[in-house]
Amino acid sequence: MSKSTISKLSRLGLVKVITNRLSAIGKSSAAPARDLYSYAPNKLAAELHPKVQHLVVKDIKAFSPDMKSIILAPNAAKGTEKLAWFSAGQYLSVVADIEGKPFKRPYSIASSPADTLNGEYMITVKRVGGGIVSQYILDNWTVGTEVTASAPLGDFTYERLRDAATVIGIAGGSGITPFRALAKAIYEGDETCSLVLLYGSRTLKDAVFSDEISAWAAENDKIKLVNVLSDEKAEGCESGFITADLIKKYAPAGDYSIFLCGPQAMYNFADKEIEKLGIRRKFVRHELFGEYFHPEKNEDYTGDINATYTLTVRINGTEHKIPCKADTTLLRAMEAAGLNPPSDCRSGRCGWCHSQLLSGDVYIPASVDGRRAADKIYGYIHPCCSFPLGDVAIDVPTMPVK
C-alpha cells in the first residue's frame, strides 16, 4: 500500500471521527453543565482537601501557663460544616492575626482521626522563646476565638508499604503530639502498626499525655510507652537520654521504623545514636522544625550572625525592601514586614514557599534542605529555612488563596 493511499485513508478516518463527534454533540442536552462539585468524587475530594478550614476554639486544657491543648471545632457560620479527615502525624497550618499581620504556624494534630467525626481537632501549643505566634495563642486565644487553618498536611505518617510493622517513636517536649494521635489511632483500630514510644522529658511531670497513652497501652499490646527522664529518677522510667543502646533494648527483632519529633537539639543527638544501629535510611523519618534552627551552631556556617541585611522581595507584582537579621529566616522577615508570604510546613519540605533567588547568597542547613536537584541548579530556595549571608533579592510567586 502506497504512502498516498495510507494518507488518504487516514484523512477519511479522521473525517469520520469528526463527523461522529459533531453528531453526538448535536444530540446532547442544551441544559447548563452540572457544577463540578455536584459529582460525588469531586465533592469527596473537596471535603478531604479543603482550601481553607474555618474553625472556632471549643475548649482549652492548660497544662501550665506555657503549654495548652486547644480543641478546635468547625465554624459553620463561616462555611465549614465538618472537619477534614487526616492521617495520624499530620499537621494544621494555623493563621494568627497579630497587630493586623497574618502569621502562619504548623501545629501537629494531637487528636485521632476518628475524633474528626465528633467535630474536633486538638493541637497543643508550647511557648517558644522568641516565638511570636505561640506566645500570642497562649495569651490571647479563648473559647469562642475564630481560627483559620489549612487542610491537614504533611507526610509524617505511617505507611505500611514503606514502613516496618513496628514504629519506634522518639519524642521530645511538645513533639509528643503526633505520637499521641498515632497511639490513639492504634487504640481505636484505625492504624495497624505497633508503637514503642520513647518519650524524653526533664521530669515525669513534664511528660504530658503520659497517663492517657499508658491507659491505652494497658488495653492494647500494640502500644508501649517508655518515659525517659533526664533530670530525675522515677519508678518504671528510664534515666538519661535516648541512646542507641536504649533503642535496641526496646526494639523488636528484625526491621523497625524510627520516627522522631522534637527540638533540633534532640535530633542532633539522636541522629548520631541512630547511625550506630545501621538502619536503612527509608526506615528513619523526621518531623522537621527548620525555622528554629540556629545556623551559627553548624560547623559549615560562615556568616556574621550579628549582621542585618537588606532583603528585596518581589511579591504580588510589588517590590519591597525590608531588613533581615542574619539569624532570621527570610520567611520570618517577610512576615514581620506584613507581606503575608506563602508557607505551610516551615521546614523546607512542602515547597509552598518555593521562591527564586535573584541575587545574593543564603545559608541553608543541610538537615532541612528539602530542595530538588533542579532547584539548586536553577536558583530556587525555600525562604522558611534560608538565612541571609548578605543582601538578598528573591521573587516569591503569587499563590492561590488558601
pLDDT at residue number 289: 59
Contact by Cβ (8 Å): 84, 27: no
Cell numbers standing for residue 100 = 493586623
Cα 94 to Cα 106: distance, rounded to the nearest angstrom: 6
Contact by Cβ (8 Å): 141, 60: yes
Please report, rounded to a whole number, the percentage of residues in the chain having pLDDT higher than 70. Answer: 94
CATH of domain 303-396: 3.10.20.30
Answer yes or no: is pLDDT of 225 > 90.
Answer: yes
pLDDT at residue number 325: 96
Cα 47 to Cα 254: distance, rounded to the nearest angstrom: 39
DSSP reduced 3-state for 51 = coil
pLDDT at residue number 291: 60
Kindly provide the b/e burial profile for residues 168-201, where b requires at least 16 CB atoms within 10 angstroms of the residue's own CB.
bbbbbbbbbbbbbbbbbbbbeeebebbbbbbbbb
pLDDT at residue number 103: 92
Point out the least confidently predicted range of 35-39, 315-319, 328-332.
35-39
Assigned CATH topology for domain 166-287: Rossmann fold (3.40.50)
Point out the least confidently predicted range of 11-25, 74-88, 213-227, 359-373.
11-25
How large is the average pLDDT for residues 367-393? 93
Contact by Cβ (8 Å): 53, 148: yes
How large is the average pLDDT for residues 210-229? 97
pLDDT at residue number 95: 94
pTM: 0.84
pLDDT at residue number 21: 81
Name the burial class of residue 131, with classes exposed (0-12), middle (13-18) and buried (19+) by CB atoms within 10 angstroms of its CB: middle
Answer yes or no: is pLDDT of 383 > 70.
Answer: yes
Q: Under 8 Å CB-to-CB from 142, ≥6 apart: which residues?
A: 57, 60
Could you tell me the residue ranges of all domains in the chain? 46-149, 166-287, 303-396
pLDDT at residue number 401: 44
Architecture of domain 46-149: Beta Barrel (2.40)
